[in-house]
Amino acid sequence: MKISDEILRRRTFGIVSHPDAGKTTLTEKLLLFGGAIQEAGAVKSNKIKKAATSDFMEIEKQRGISVATSVMAFEYLNRHINILDTPGHQDFAEDTFRTLTAVDSAIVVVDVAKGVETQTEKLVKVCRMRKTPIMVFINKLDREGRDGFDLLDEIESKLALKLCPLSWPIGMGSEFQGVYNIWNSSLLIYQEGNKQKINKSFSINDLSSSDLENQVGENAANSLRNEIELIRGVYPRFDKKEYLEGNLCPVFFGSALNNFGVKELLDCFVEIAPSPQPKISIERLVNPHENIFSGFVFKIHANIDPKHRSRIAFVKIVSGEFQRNKNYFHVREKRQLKFSSPLTFLASKRAIVETAFPGDIVGLPDTGNFRRGDSLTSGEELNFKGIPSFSPEYFRFINNADPLKSKQLNKGIDQLMDEGVAQLFTLKSNGRKIIGTVGALQYEVIQYRLEHEYGAKCSYENYSAHKALWIESKSEKQLEEFLKFKSRYTAEDKFGRIVFFADSPFGLQMSVEKFDKLIFHEKSEY
């Protein structure tokens, strides 16, 4: 098969939502329908009945939440599907933001009872900013929830999305009977209580047919006819071009836990979702169909296998063909690297891959060569944009709670910071180390992983700061003056860049006005 054909077969997307909307469960069921797994796990009430495939870290299994992006691949209807299941919890949002740089489209999961929640708004805003095509899956229809039209109104107003329903529920909760699939004119009948069995669907091209009454009863049939007529009058018809440009958002209804409506979502997705898209670099726009290889590291996972202390750099391939045992140019370090064991993933299960194509995610075993945002190419100097670190919102000193394990602690902190779970700063005045995070739960995750993966223990002390800001200088003299004047509040990040800890919004404003030749950035990519 030609490379161009392989590219057109690829579908790389992220699943995003607020916590507990059913995102990880939907991922499981997509894998189940794709034949990648034989039995689905379920995350429910913060207890794991069977650990979800995409939640493979020990703390994820115990807490019942996703704390790191998982990468999974499978074949379906002659398409090669790459799923990135992201954390929903706001304390891990930075990992999700970076992951969205590696996807070509997204599926947003909304809980039918809770509707649009804060974290969903933030994530969709990132997708809209990048014009990423979005599909919405309204989940948990087997439970009591909001009216379908009320939900659509809320999604349109809060997420600023132009919607196009491609399926519609018949009843809800205890009265839920099924879904009418507008996309392919079929009726999907809900069979309660069989969570591993795929439900039956009936082709029903004419809604006025008495077959509809025979399946759902007279009242439900009349309601469905009226609602579908209203949908066709109010909402625009599906337009693939509008969807691919990020201007139109298809909506599907279902229950991921019960395997209901998932196949219909997947069937439509593989048909309409974009194949790998061009990616902007500082130098130029890179097209996936180019012959030269290029890719970028969007995620690093330290200690993915505790038995071997392994570390994996996740690379999204942008253009050309990646080949095992071939030399590639590491742009930042300006040297050639060869990879004998590149990996593909089904969550924690890994397999060595000989070749990979644009849209694919390849795991490269790493001994410390890579940072997030690094580029690999066939030789050209390309630097891909859009993978920053954001200003943390929480700051704590980290202390060694077991002096005999200093080496393990330092190694653990070093590797976890490379992952991007948090950021490490070293104060210039006394050398004390500060960990900054976007959410307080990150400290618990770091403490847990240091102890259980590296055999090291730590404790924390609060450090009072309003924001951490990266400094760009247009005057060496003024920078020296600032560092002297603010010596107690300056530090270096892990890569030696100067960071200023502003103690308050007023203090920041005063610094901006006094040191007018310095620029204070809220993200590291400037």
pLDDT averaged over every residue in the chain: 85
The answer to whether residues 112 and 146 touch, using CB atoms and an 8 Å cutoff, is yes
Burial class (CB in 10 A: 0-12, 13-18, 19+), 407: exposed
Q: Would you say residue 383 lies in a domain?
A: no
**Residue 67 Cα to chain centre, angstroms:** 11
Q: Would you say residue 105 lies in a domain?
A: yes
Per DSSP, helices labelled H in 248-392 are 262-272
Q: Would you say residue 237 lies in a domain?
A: yes
pLDDT at residue 526, as a whole number: 52
CATH number at residue 467: 3.30.70.3280
pLDDT at residue 205, as a whole number: 74
Number of domains present in the structure of the chain:
3
If asked whether residues 371 and 423 sit together in one domain, one would say no
pLDDT at residue 476, as a whole number: 92
Higher-scoring residue by pLDDT: 526, 47 = 526
Task: Provide the percentage of residues in the chain whose pLDDT is more than 70.
Answer: 86
If asked whether residues 198 and 82 sit together in one domain, one would say yes
Residue range 105-130: mean pLDDT, rounded: 88
Look up the pTM and report it: 0.79
Banded pLDDT at 520 (limits 50, 70, 90): very high
Contacts of 383 (CB under 8 A, 6+ apart): 281, 282, 283, 331, 375
Question: Which of 221, 241, 272 is the endpoint of a domain?
Answer: 272
Question: Which of 208, 237, 272 is the endpoint of a domain?
Answer: 272
Residue range 243-250: mean pLDDT, rounded: 96
Banded pLDDT at 440 (limits 50, 70, 90): confident
If asked whether residues 79 and 222 sit together in one domain, one would say yes
The answer to whether residues 487 and 501 touch, using CB atoms and an 8 Å cutoff, is no
Banded pLDDT at 324 (limits 50, 70, 90): very high
| CA 152 to each of CA 102, 119, 231, 233, 485: distance values in angstroms, whole numbers, following the listed order | 28, 18, 11, 15, 54
Q: In this structure, what token pair is assigned to residue 98?
A: 């970076």
If asked whether residues 136 and 219 sit together in one domain, one would say yes
pLDDT at residue 93, as a whole number: 57
pLDDT tens column, 40-71: 443 333 333 344 444 444 544 454 444 345 77
If asked whether residues 153 and 294 sit together in one domain, one would say no
Q: Would you say residue 330 lies in a domain?
A: yes
If asked whether residues 316 and 408 sit together in one domain, one would say no
If asked whether residues 513 and 447 sit together in one domain, one would say yes
If asked whether residues 495 and 406 sit together in one domain, one would say yes
Per DSSP, helices labelled H in 245-368 are 262-272
pLDDT at residue 40, as a whole number: 46
pLDDT at residue 307, as a whole number: 57
Q: Which range marks the domain in which residue 422 is found?
A: 394-521
If asked whether residues 44 and 189 sit together in one domain, one would say yes
pLDDT tens column, 134-145: 999 999 998 899
CATH number at residue 53: 3.40.50.300
pLDDT tens column, 213-223: 888 889 999 99
Question: Which of 250, 272, 294 is the endpoint of a domain?
Answer: 272
pLDDT tens column, 421-435: 789 999 999 999 999
Q: Is the pLDDT of residue 36 over 70?
A: no
Q: Which of 18-27, 227-236, 477-486, 508-517 has the lowest mean pLDDT?
A: 18-27
If asked whether residues 200 and 322 sit together in one domain, one would say no
Q: Would you say residue 384 lies in a domain?
A: no
Q: Would you say residue 481 lies in a domain?
A: yes
